[in-house]
Structure 1
Amino acid sequence: MLLLIPGPVQTSAEVKAAMGVDIAPWDLDFRREYARIRERVRDLAGGVEGVHATLPLQGAGHFMVEAAIRTFVPPAGKVLIPRNGTYADRMIRLAREAGRVPMVLEVPDTRGVRAGEVAAALEADPEISHVSLVYSETGSGVINDPRPVGKAVRALGRRMILDAVSAFGALPFDIAAQPECDAVLFTSNKCLEGMPGIGFAVCPMERARERAGLAGSWSFDLGDVLRTAETAGWGSFRFTPAAQALHAFGVALDLHAAEGGREARLARYTANMRVLRSGAERLGLRPYLTPEEQGPIILTLHQPEAPGFTLQGFVDALKRRGVLISNFYNTPVPSIRIGCIGAVTPDDMRRALVAMEAALVEMGVRREAA
């Protein structure tokens, strides 16, 4: 089955094989392996030894977002959240339920937020301490570039939290060059193509250290994760880890490096997206975003306005042909979500396009109607 969703993504045979071992998390060999993974992840984020640290938690990307908000945004504090997609909506809820005050900056889901918009919102409310930004919004596929936004945040003396869950490992980010960033957040899956199960934050150590014990949650206290590492060792976990997923993640990092690192992975994903987008347009399907706003992570298409088309019917027809896509959408109007990331290639996208054409024919959707 060819898995074309924005996560969990399709993984390589080597990563799958690495899951087939039994591991004792306290074993010294595994502790060394885990400590090395933390170093490699820090380096991928542009972190500096002794200045930045990798602070993992068990679970999904949402766990990391909540942990970062709880750790770095003061209780009852205000956090500005540019809203142009579903994952910003979820961030807003996580902030509110953590007892923080989300200040929502409304942005159309067809474009990225502008630095000037963020600056104006911060200037209007000096009580806002943080901007929490979704780098890659997989509701529509739009990208919110953290570099100009971060520059605006830094100029006004505020802090930033970056949800890079579906961006890290492919899209550029350098935490050393963005000192306003309290945390860049991502997972073992998505663009790093490991198994799901582990979330990561790369943070300035001084900032995390001074926030220890203030999250209002032991599980979601990134400062406490750092404190444990500094006292018990960098190969230690506070609670039982997803050890097999971590072991497989080490293999995924090897494959990431062997491919050529972030730049090579971005090039492959961009090629995937371009093949898929141009082929979908030839089939009569209309992209949700303009080419200028289209990110490389996910392609969103308008659903055909044709009597025979249903999204679940389309998904089922593709699945019978060996291609699996999402059976839901996150845009205000009906759409189709197709992931461009994971252990897939442009040739896989061409195979998917053949299946898409056959599925549309089966459903009686004529090209001009699509």
Structure 2
Amino acid sequence: MLLLIPGPVTTDARVKAAMAQDYAPWDNDFRQAYRQVCDSVLRVAQAAPDEHAALALPGCGHFAVEAAIRTFVPQGGRLLAPSTGAYAARLQRLAADAGRIAVPLPVGAAERVAPQAVAAALERDPSLTHLALVYSETGSGICHDVPELARIAHALGRRVIVDAVSAFGALPLDLRDLPAVDAVVLTANKCLEGLPGAAFVVARRDSLEAARGNAGSWSLDLADIYEHTLQPNAGPRFTPPAPTLAALAVALDLYHEEGREARLARYTANMRTLYDGIGALGLVPYLPPALQGPIVVNVRAPDAPTWNLQLFVDALKRRGYVLSNFYNTEQPTFRVGCIGAFGPDQMRQAVDAMGAALGDISITREPAASGGFFPFPLTA
């Protein structure tokens, strides 16, 4: 099966093989491997080891997003959170449930966050101490210019938290050049092409030291996790998803062999193959080409009486391809992930399978037009 979802993703056979044994989390060899994984994540973030730490948590990206908000935003604190889609809405809820005040900034469903709007909102309200951003909004497929927005926040004396869960490892990120960023959240199972179960926060050491006592949760206290890492021969604080981390070690080796720019180029080729292919099937992408990011493509549901998302997913699965059986857009869509250990030839075959699956549910369409892609500096 080829997973065409925006995570978990299809993985290399060598990554899967690393899961096929048992690991003792407190064994000294595993402790060393654990520290090496964290160091490798820092390298992907282009972070300075003397200024940043990579902290691992068990679980999904939402756990790490909540941990970052709890740790770096004091109880009752206020953060500006652009409403970019479903995952920004989840971030806002996590903040509210943690007793923090997320102030939404309206953003159109088919718009990028406007730098001038962020600057104006921060200038209007000096009580906003943080800016919280979703880098790649998988609900829509739009990627926002997080480095530029972080620089604006820095110029205005604000701190930044980045949900980079579906962006990390593909989209540009150089933490040495973004001193306002307190935390970047990521998981093993997206663009790093590892397996699910492990989340990370790459955070500034000085911000962690200043955040002791903020979290109100022992499990989600990044400052406490950081303090644990300072102990001699430190390993995980609590029992980690050891097989997932062992697989991630292999995935990170493969990542560094490929390189970020090459990985982004492969994902972009996957996206363009898909985008053009669905147009040839008569389907309409949710986003115009100029806004379409390389991580996930949302496709408008066919306006046909026989359309049924689950039946389409089932028909495609019979052909060896797995899609999400839900959507996060206002209008009905289906979404297709462009990330994972595969290339455009496999995506081309997947598009052919989509055409056959549509036939299974009695839908045929005329080809739709397509256009040019992004004026967005994804390769910067």
TM interval, shorter chain, is over 0.9
Instruction: Name the structure 2 match of 1:124.
Output: 124
Instruction: Name the structure 2 match of 1:348.
Output: 346
Instruction: Name the structure 2 match of 1:265.
Output: 263
Contact conserved, 2:41 with 2:54, CA < 8 A, in 1? Answer: yes
The residue correspondences of 1:3-22 to structure 2 (distance < 5 A) are 3-22=3-22
Instruction: Give secondary structure in 2 for the equivalent of 1:190.
Output: coil
Contact conserved, 1:111 with 1:143, CA < 8 A, in 2? Answer: no
One-letter identity of the residue aligned with 2:281: L
Q: CA deviation at 1:231?
A: 2.2
Instruction: Give secondary structure in 1 for the equivalent of 2:165.
Output: coil
Instruction: Name the structure 1 match of 2:281.
Output: 283
Q: CA deviation at 1:369?
A: 9.5
Contact conserved, 1:315 with 1:324, CA < 8 A, in 2? Answer: yes
Instruction: Name the structure 1 match of 2:161.
Output: 161
Contact conserved, 2:190 with 2:339, CA < 8 A, in 1? Answer: yes
The residue correspondences of 1:180-329 to structure 2 (distance < 5 A) are 180-233=180-233, 235-259=234-258, 261-329=259-327
Rounded to whole Å, the distance in 1 between the matches of 2:91 and 2:39 is 28
Rounded to whole Å, the distance in 2 between the matches of 1:333 and 1:232 is 53
What are the Cα deviations for residues 326-363 of structure 1, in whole angstroms up to 9, with x where unaligned? Answer: 11110000011000001121111111111111111222
The residue correspondences of 1:126-141 to structure 2 (distance < 5 A) are 126-141=126-141
Q: CA deviation at 1:145?
A: 1.1
Greater mean alpha carbon deviation, residues 108-117 or residues 218-227:
108-117
Instruction: Name the structure 1 match of 2:356.
Output: 358
Q: TM-score of the superposition, structure 1-length normalised?
A: 0.98
One-letter identity of the residue aligned with 1:123: E
Seq. identity, %? 55
Instruction: Name the structure 1 match of 2:73.
Output: 73
Q: CA deviation at 1:213?
A: 2.3
Rounded to whole Å, the distance in 1 between the matches of 2:207 and 2:348 is 47
Q: CA deviation at 1:35?
A: 1.0
Instruction: Name the structure 2 match of 1:177.
Output: 177
Q: CA deviation at 1:21?
A: 1.2
Contact conserved, 1:109 with 1:142, CA < 8 A, in 2? Answer: no
Contact conserved, 2:313 with 2:323, CA < 8 A, in 1? Answer: yes
**Where do 5+ consecutive residues of structure 2 fail to align?**
369-380
Instruction: Name the structure 2 match of 1:101.
Output: 101
Greater mean alpha carbon deviation, residues 134-143 or residues 212-221:
212-221
One-letter identity of the residue aligned with 1:312: Q
What are the Cα deviations for residues 203-255 of structure 1, in whole angstroms up to 9, with x where unaligned? Answer: 1101111212221111111111110011244x411110111111110000011
Rounded to whole Å, the distance in 2 between the matches of 1:179 and 1:161 is 11
Q: CA deviation at 1:163?
A: 0.3
Rounded to whole Å, the distance in 2 between the matches of 1:148 and 1:328 is 32
Rounded to whole Å, the distance in 2 between the matches of 1:123 and 1:213 is 29
Rounded to whole Å, the distance in 2 between the matches of 1:166 and 1:357 is 27
Q: CA deviation at 1:34?
A: 1.0
Instruction: Name the structure 1 match of 2:147.
Output: 147
Spell out structure 1 runs of 4+ moving beyond 3 A: none
**Where do 5+ consecutive residues of structure 1 fail to align?**
none
Rounded to whole Å, the distance in 1 between the matches of 2:232 and 2:271 is 44
Q: CA deviation at 1:115?
A: 0.9
Instruction: Give secondary structure in 1 for the equivalent of 2:110.
Output: coil
Instruction: Name the structure 2 match of 1:58.
Output: 58
Instruction: Give secondary structure in 2 for the equivalent of 1:192.
Output: coil
Instruction: Give secondary structure in 1 for the equivalent of 2:113.
Output: coil
Instruction: Give secondary structure in 2 for the equivalent of 1:39.
Output: helix
Contact conserved, 1:306 with 1:369, CA < 8 A, in 2? Answer: no
Rounded to whole Å, the distance in 2 between the matches of 1:34 and 1:224 is 17
Contact conserved, 2:82 with 2:105, CA < 8 A, in 1? Answer: yes
Rounded to whole Å, the distance in 2 between the matches of 1:70 and 1:360 is 45
One-letter identity of the residue aligned with 1:150: A
Contact conserved, 1:140 with 1:331, CA < 8 A, in 2? Answer: yes
Rounded to whole Å, the distance in 1 between the matches of 2:176 and 2:94 is 27
Instruction: Name the structure 1 match of 2:375.
Output: none
Contact conserved, 1:58 with 1:197, CA < 8 A, in 2? Answer: yes
Cα RMSD (Å): 1.1
Q: CA deviation at 1:368?
A: 3.1
Instruction: Give secondary structure in 1 for the equivalent of 2:230.
Output: helix
One-letter identity of the residue aligned with 1:346: P
Instruction: Name the structure 1 match of 2:334.
Output: 336
Instruction: Give secondary structure in 2 for the equivalent of 1:231.
Output: coil
Contact conserved, 1:71 with 1:223, CA < 8 A, in 2? Answer: yes
One-letter identity of the residue aligned with 1:230: L
Tell me how many residue pairs correspond in the alignment.
368
Q: TM-score of the superposition, structure 2-length normalised?
A: 0.95
The residue correspondences of 1:109-120 to structure 2 (distance < 5 A) are 109-120=109-120
Rounded to whole Å, the distance in 2 between the matches of 1:296 and 1:146 is 15
Greater mean alpha carbon deviation, residues 65-74 or residues 105-114:
105-114
Q: CA deviation at 1:183?
A: 0.3
